[in-house]
Amino acid sequence: PARYFDINTTEPVSFFLSGLEELLAWKPDGNDDFNISTVPLAKRQPPLHSKRPRTLVCHDMRGGYIADRFIQGSDTRNPYVFYHWRYIDIFVYFSHHTVTIPPVCWTNAAHKNGVPVLGTFITEWTDGEKLCEAFLAGGEEAFRAVSEQLAHIAQHYRFDGWLINMENTLSAAAVGNLPHFLRHLTAEVHGAVPGGLVIWYDSILRNGTLRWQNELNEENRVFFDACDGLFTNYNWKEAHLERTRELAGPRQTDVYIGVDVFARGEVIGGGFDTDKSLHLIRQHGLSAAIFAPGWVYEHLGEENFLQNENKFWGLLAKYLPTHSICTLPLATSFSLGMGTSRFLDGKEEEAGPWYDLSAQEIQPLYPERKGRLSTSCCLQDAWFGGSSLRVQGTIPPGEEQVAVGLFSLQMPAPPKLFLTLLYKLEGPHPDEFTVSLEITTWDSGICHEGNITSLPAEPNGRHHPRFLPTPPPSLAKLLAACNRGSNGWTSRCYELDLQDCSLRDLSLLVSRHQTSPQETSFTCLLGEVRVLDAASVAASPPQVQSLAASQLWWQ
């Protein structure tokens, strides 16, 4: 069927539903299997429902379902990718089709990084009015059928809920049922999807008029009260924020203040001035909804996209609370899910562009310190996948080393950790530096390194794992690459014994052999980092059972 497969290539594609009939007729289908997310939502700390302000990203690009619709990837050159997952809390895939089911590659990439994904249910213009009348103006069976279908679709494809965006006038009968529909949909989604969300877009008033309010007020509060959050329109001033905060009370972080990066209409700031908008939003303790950050790609062009993207998110970073990893193992080769070549074990296997967000790996923090430190993606060389992480910086005069935060962690430390690192030093004098990993722990007073012979940990909880020249026999297979890099990559394994500790940060430590009165510049590529709990590594992996293959197409 055309919906599930591309007409030109027969490849499986992600799809949307148009109109009420298609929505109500939808049921799971064997051709659907490609569209079901294979990555469960990773746990994070603090959890999404903690009361700190959140950041939602609403992705709206060229009508949606472009190169990202190809479930098994494509050979797109210079594609759009998103990778600042640590800085955002919710990802919405937006298009103008009635039922926007997020392409599965986005759900896989976001889930891997602990971010839930919402689809969009939209009605607009005259057709939208007719559609709303059809399911909202009658009895409750009609709107219940719609909310049950939407919840079932999210559950089936394993994404996390819906943004509801009605941009058309409603009759008195329809608007009277709207809060009941939202309440029922929210309950259905919560029941079907663990941690599921329903967010309402600020457009309709309680009397059915279409008029954007740019705030939470008595005219739209009835819809906010019926679901998990409100996404406001973009043309607000500070007075709107003050009134919103007051009215929302304890639910102030459930109001997502809209920020249009394209800066259409009267806005405080978009583009590279988006930080001005965020500054005000955070002053009032509210959440933010960043709309169309693909501006960086669409407006500034594809050529310098990665550089511009790092600049855009770097300017916002101080207003974006990050979330931490709270489970092991942690393993990543930093791949963005795209590349100009494919690499395996540090060697180029295949030249040519590729794009597959499902192959994106866990993404780090991207710390920037002006003139002192930058982290970016390197497409020219990688250990595995399409890219490595390039860390460039300087060691200041008189100092021996610099620590670069890669991941923030929040979990109890197992008694023994194994860590692995693959790296490559670039530049004129690579032998002037050594590279290693550093783990910091939360200060508890009782935390210490495990074995008696080790030195006491530094008072600020900084631990330097011991270098392992050869892996213990039980781990020989898993850590085969210890001390055996290839193609210019250096491989290192480490162990760390901890007692009564809680992990806090994983950093890269770059040291120079001699302190110098001059500052020294370094460039290091990271190919892979792993942090493993020794106990679970030693256990034998579960056996795969009842394997079946279907939809085979040999070419």
How much is the pLDDT for 483? 60
Local confidence band at 460 (pLDDT 50, 70, 90 cut-offs): low
Q: How far is CA 468 from the centre of its chain?
A: 33
Backbone angles phi, psi at 297, to 5 degrees: -80, -45
How much is the pLDDT for 481? 62
How much is the pLDDT for 316? 97
Does residue 415 surpass a pLDDT of 90? yes
Does residue 398 surpass a pLDDT of 60? yes
Local confidence band at 550 (pLDDT 50, 70, 90 cut-offs): confident
**pLDDT tens digits, residue range 239-269?**
999 999 999 999 999 999 999 999 999 999 9
Q: Are 259 and 289 a contacting pair, CB within 8 Å?
A: yes
Strand partners, 330: 531
Report the alpha-carbon distance of residue 376 to residue 305 in Å, rounded.
12
Q: CA angle at residue 224 from 220 to 228, to 5 degrees?
A: 160
Strands 466-467 and 490-499: antiparallel
Type and span of the H or E element at 311: helix 305-316
Does residue 553 surpass a pLDDT of 90? no
Among the ranges 27-36, 150-159, 544-553, which has the highest mean pLDDT value?
Answer: 150-159
Based on its alpha-carbon atoms, the radius of gyration of the chain, rounded to whole angstroms, reads 25
Report the alpha-carbon distance of residue 201 to residue 16 in Å, rounded.
20
Local confidence band at 482 (pLDDT 50, 70, 90 cut-offs): low
Q: Which residues contact 103 (CB under 8 A, 6 or more apart)?
A: 14, 65, 68, 69, 71, 93
In this structure, of 448-462, 463-477, 523-537, the range with the lowest mean pLDDT score is 448-462
How much is the pLDDT for 453? 47
Local confidence band at 383 (pLDDT 50, 70, 90 cut-offs): very high
Domains and CATH numbers, the chain: 16-74+97-321 (3.20.20.80), 330-538 (2.60.120.260)
Average pLDDT, the chain: 93
How much is the pLDDT for 343? 96
**pLDDT tens digits, residue range 103-139?**
999 999 999 999 999 999 999 999 999 999 999 998 8
Does residue 311 surpass a pLDDT of 90? yes
Q: How many CA atoms lie within 13 A of 175 on its CB side?
A: 18
Does residue 452 surpass a pLDDT of 50? no
Q: Helix (H, G, I), strand (E, B), or coil: what is residue 46? A: coil
**pLDDT tens digits, residue range 505-516?**
999 999 998 888
pTM for the structure as a whole: 0.96
Q: Helix (H, G, I), strand (E, B), or coil: what is residue 307? A: helix
The amino acid at residue 32 is D
Local confidence band at 554 (pLDDT 50, 70, 90 cut-offs): low
- Please state the rounded mean pLDDT for residues 135-161: 97
Report the alpha-carbon distance of residue 265 to residue 98 in Å, rounded.
25
**pLDDT tens digits, residue range 170-209?**
999 999 999 999 999 999 999 999 999 999 999 999 999 9
**pLDDT tens digits, residue range 296-307?**
999 999 999 999
In this structure, of 338-352, 472-486, 498-512, the range with the lowest mean pLDDT score is 472-486
How much is the pLDDT for 37? 97
